[in-house]
């Protein structure tokens, strides 16, 4: 199975034919009118977005938030001028939801709960729409956002240039894209990033609880242990982990994102909502629990990070577990595992980081990573 970012989407709802040109309304309305985004469905009143320095900023490419395959073909086959003309001619036709859409809706649901508990706080998710598009396309994107009742006030339309510099200015905590090269560029700049994929038929995900699943090595942790396995084999890997059981693993590219999720979780815990917290995190690793899992758990504990659930699969396929978890997004550094997740209907994202990127992905592999 070979995946191209976002291009595996089939069997989705057809694109609506028209989009009402509604307005996002006045974002400076009083706090009394803005207790919960969900209370304002159908209204022009929207909450005020938080300041970037206070928020958990999620930058999302338009190509993963929405389905733009048709438009991409126009660009590739007919060039930029015809592409821009097409977008203007169809600006009242909303894009259909893409692989990041359920994730963004879940972020907004969490924001609604946070506003109920902390009306004055700006510690919220802030979604920034990032696109290489020319500003002309912005009208269609705004129409689509209003059609789907999303709260996205911040846009970054770069007109074909790299958005990475802007991501740093936004204090971005996570960047999701369909462009693997830009994801690698973001990772090189220290920004958590991943290339998103979507199954042909997506499993239903929760509308009230954000579920985020992480692989361990080369995602939350560094690729130190993976390098031992690649160079010396499984037995040497086990020996290395036993000898270094009390030595913390170094951080990986997604550690910071898990940290901010944990900070928001603690705000719910402080109000007595540990058991019904709208954020739930999962560690899904091919490590074995007894032989190599203890080092991972000790590292997370030393970092002060709580993982709601930890699954040590000892080399077993991850797809069936992810089918049960039903995450809004699952992060893994190996395409083999991303493909396995997609086959089971889960939304997965590839983190192109670490030594595994230099090796082919074989389905017959029975590694401990």
Residues recognised as catalytic: 215
Give the pairing of strands 329-332 and 348-350: parallel
Per the CB < 8 A criterion, the answer to whether 9 and 98 are in contact is yes
CB atoms under 10 Å from CB of 112, counted, come to 20
* CA diameter of the chain: 64
Phi, psi of 255 (to 5 degrees): -55, -45
Q: Which helix (H) or strand (E) holds 213?
A: strand 210-214
Per the CB < 8 A criterion, the answer to whether 64 and 182 are in contact is no
Name 315's Cβ contacts closer than 8 Å, sequence gap at least 6.
Answer: 286, 288, 366, 367, 368
The rounded distance, in Å, linking the Cα atoms of 91 and 83 is 12
Phi, psi of 74 (to 5 degrees): -60, -45
The DSSP secondary-structure symbol of 356 reads G
The rounded distance, in Å, linking the Cα atoms of 171 and 80 is 31
The DSSP secondary-structure symbol of 25 reads -
């Amino acid at each position: 199975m070979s995946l191209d970012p976002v291009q595996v989407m089939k069997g989705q709802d057809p694109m609506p034919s028209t989009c009402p040109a509604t307005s996002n309304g006045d974002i400076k309305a009083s706090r009394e009118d803005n207790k919960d985004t969900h209370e304002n469905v159908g209204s022009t009143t929207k909450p005020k977005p938080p300041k970037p320095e206070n928020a958990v900023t999620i930058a999302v490419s338009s190509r993963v938030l929405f389905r733009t395959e048709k438009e991409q073909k126009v660009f590739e086959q007919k060039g930029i001028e015809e592409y821009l003309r097409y977008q203007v001619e169809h600006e009242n036709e909303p894009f259909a939801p893409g692989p990041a859409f359920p994730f963004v809706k879940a972020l907004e649901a969490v924001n609604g709960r946070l506003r109920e508990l902390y009306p004055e706080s700006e510690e919220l998710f802030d979604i920034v729409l990032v696109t290489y598009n020319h500003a002309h396309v912005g009208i269609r994107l705004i129409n689509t956002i209003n059609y789907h009742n999303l709260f996205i006030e911040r846009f970054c339309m770069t007109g074909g240039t790299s958005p990475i510099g802007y991501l740093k200015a936004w204090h971005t905590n996570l960047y999701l894209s369909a462009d693997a090269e830009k994801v690698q560029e973001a990772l090189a700049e220290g920004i958590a990033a991943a290339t998103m994929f979507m199954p042909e038929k997506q499993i239903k995900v929760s509308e009230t609880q954000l579920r985020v699943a992480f692989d361990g090595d080369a995602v939350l942790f560094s690729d130190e242990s993976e390098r031992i396995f690649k160079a010396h084999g499984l037995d040497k890997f086990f020996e290395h982990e036993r000898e270094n059981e009390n030595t913390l693993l170094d951080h990986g590219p997604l550690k910071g994102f898990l940290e901010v999720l944990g900070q928001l979780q603690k705000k719910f815990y402080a109000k007595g909502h540990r058991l019904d917290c709208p954020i739930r995190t999962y560690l899904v690793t091919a490590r074995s629990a007894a032989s190599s899992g203890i080092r991972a758990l000790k590292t997370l504990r030393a970092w002060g990070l709580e993982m709601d659930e930890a699954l040590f699969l000892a080399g077993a396929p991850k797809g069936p577990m992810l089918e049960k978890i039903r995450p809004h997004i699952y992060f893994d550094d190996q395409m083999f595992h991303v493909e396995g997740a997609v086959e089971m209907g889960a939304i997965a994202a590839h983190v192109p980081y670490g030594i595994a990127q230099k090796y082919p992905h074989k389905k017959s592999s029975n590694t401990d990573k």
